[in-house]
Amino acid sequence: MSAAVYEATTSAPVNIACIKYWGKRDTKLILPTNSSLSVTLDQDLLRSTTTSRADPSFTKDRLWLNGKEEEIKDGGRMDNCIKEMKRLRKVLVEDKDPNAPKLSEWKLHIVSFNTVPTAAGLASSASGFAALTTSLASLFSLPLNPSELSLIARRGSGSACRSLFGGYVAWEMGSKPDGSDSLAVEVAPQSHWPEMRAVVCVVSGEKKDVGSSVGMQLTVETSPLLQHRIKYVVPERMEKISKAIKERNFDEFAKITMADSNQFHAVALDTTPPIFYMNDVSRNLIALVEEYNRVCLEKTGHLGAAYTFDAGPNAVIYTLPEHIKAITELVLYFFPVPSAPAERSTQASAVGFTDVLNIFPE
């Protein structure tokens, strides 16, 4: 009889925030200074796929990311997630069932692939840690719901907690010191507002200069504007954008999304030393969307698109199906892809259409 194989493969999509998370009140537990809200891009193109295997013959936990072995640092984020999942396996499964194999005592081999430019401000860590968490939950047969799993994904990368759900997702900052109420909740499923589209404009696939962890803590330590944002701006925006999503009100959704992206980049600039995530191409994309919206407002009384930028120069433009053709044509007109259309990959999807436009491929 051949020995049982304990292995699980899952995948998780990226999410792009409309209300940005920027700042931790607890860096070890990854507890944020404000709540945030995102849309999960639920399609094949931008996601992480992770396979975990437990075996008594393995001598240490090992990780391969995009085909290259990475060190799992003792006490690091990956290590914290793995240890927490093993602890849950023991408490929730092995302690209750004496016949359950003691997977919590075995070492793991984990293989993960991203189809997202890693660390280019397109949330590869979010899909990566969400996929790691779901793959270990499946391997360990943990009876946990997505909000409960989001508590563990959060320990890997804050924004990862939101990738446990599809559709429209809030990360509630919580108030408990142990972080047990800092978790992701569904605001609305994808099916509630399936018309939402995301046009992803890849301005650069390079690694950013200032990583989000270092960047956000510099902001927490030095930016007076962040304190204003946390106290007076985000709580109201969270309520308003949740309402806009529930009512499928694109004008309100777009206005808040763009304002929040701009305030996030303003607090980055308000940091000492200042952090610049956007570049000239990013700023020109903002000008393009603003101009497009001006014309839309004039002609129809409604906005047509909303830009948002994470910690990098790449743009995500949220829009509706009737604007997709105009938006992609305008972007390609002003930022032509040298070898289009071969470098332009297009993907139709459940949540929305995502068009990845390599504006300045390396």
Which residue ranges make up the site for ligand PMV (CB under 6 A)?
17, 20-22, 36, 123, 125-126, 157-159, 212-213, 310-311
What are the distances in angstroms from CA 189 to CA 38, 52, 104, 194, 254? 12, 28, 34, 9, 18
Helix (H) or strand (E) holding 205: none
Distances (CA, A) of 164 to 171, 288, 298: 11, 33, 39
- Shorter beta-carbon distance to ligand PMV: residue 37 or 296: 37
CB of 154 to ligand PMV, least distance (A): 9
The CA distance from 74 to 93, in Å, is 25
CB of 124 to ligand PMV, least distance (A): 9
Q: How far is the CB of 8 from ligand PMV (least distance, A)?
A: 24
Looking at the DSSP bridge assignments, the partners of residue 13 are: 47
The residues pairing with 169 across neighbouring beta strands, listed in sequence order, are 38, 186
Nearer to ligand PMV, 108 or 311 (CB): 311
| Complex with ligand PMV: residue 27 or 339, whichever CB lies closer | 27
Residue closer to ligand PMV by CB (options 24, 90) is 24
Burial of 3 (0-12, 13-18, 19+ CB in 10 A): exposed
State the minimum distance, in angstroms, from the CB of residue 261 to ligand PMV: 9
- Least distance in Å: CB of 157 to ligand PMV? 4
In the complex with ligand PMV, the residue whose CB is nearer, 213 or 284, is 213
Residue closer to ligand PMV (CB basis): 126 or 187: 126
Q: How far is the CB of 195 from ligand PMV (least distance, A)?
A: 23
**Looking at the DSSP assignment, which residues form a beta bridge with residue 354?**
198, 347
- Looking at 270-320, list the stretches that DSSP marks H as alpha helix, in order from N- to C-terminal side: 280-300
End-to-end CA distance of the chain: 52
